[in-house]
């Protein structure tokens, strides 16, 4: 498995400051903790959290951005596998 919590955090850190701020603020408001906590502690909830924080369409846009970023950074996987990682606890061992 090339997808790790660390890669998710690196992707999050690579986003434009305004987008990170939006995700952080909405996460604090809706979930009670910062978005990066989801990435580190419960990465299988990432997609669910994104949908809750920014809506389905924007979550799909972010998923596409993550897919491209991972492929550019040496972690090649198809979009369906990526979605499984971001929605299924068992994928994380």
pLDDT of residue 93: 84
Is residue 4 classed as helix, strand or coil in its secondary structure? Answer: coil
Let me know: does 70 contact 62? Beta carbons within 8 Å: no
Residue 40 vs residue 93, higher pLDDT: 40
Residues 16-43: tens digit of each pLDDT? 999 999 999 999 999 999 999 999 999 9
Q: What is the mean pLDDT of residues 8-16?
A: 97
Residue 69 predicted with pLDDT over 90: yes
Say if residue 1's pLDDT is above 90. no
Residue 91 near residue 85, CB atoms below 8 Å: yes
User: Residue 3 contacts by C-beta under 8 Å, 6 or more apart in sequence?
Assistant: 70, 75, 77, 82, 85
Sign of the Cα pseudo-torsion (57, 22, 86, 38, in order): negative
User: What rounded mean pLDDT belongs to the chain?
Assistant: 97
Distances (CA, A) of 75 to 8, 10, 17, 53, 83: 11, 13, 24, 26, 14
């Amino acid at each position: 498995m090339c997808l790790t919590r660390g890669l998710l955090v690196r992707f999050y850190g690579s986003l434009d400051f305004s987008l990170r701020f939006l995700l952080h603020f909405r996460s604090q408001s809706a979930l009670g903790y910062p978005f990066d906590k989801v990435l580190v502690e419960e990465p299988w909830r990432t997609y669910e959290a994104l949908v809750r924080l920014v809506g389905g369409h924007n979550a799909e846009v972010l998923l596409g951005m993550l897919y491209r970023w991972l492929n550019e950074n040496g972690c090649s996987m198809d979009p369906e596998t990526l979605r499984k990682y971001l929605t299924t606890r068992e994928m994380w061992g």
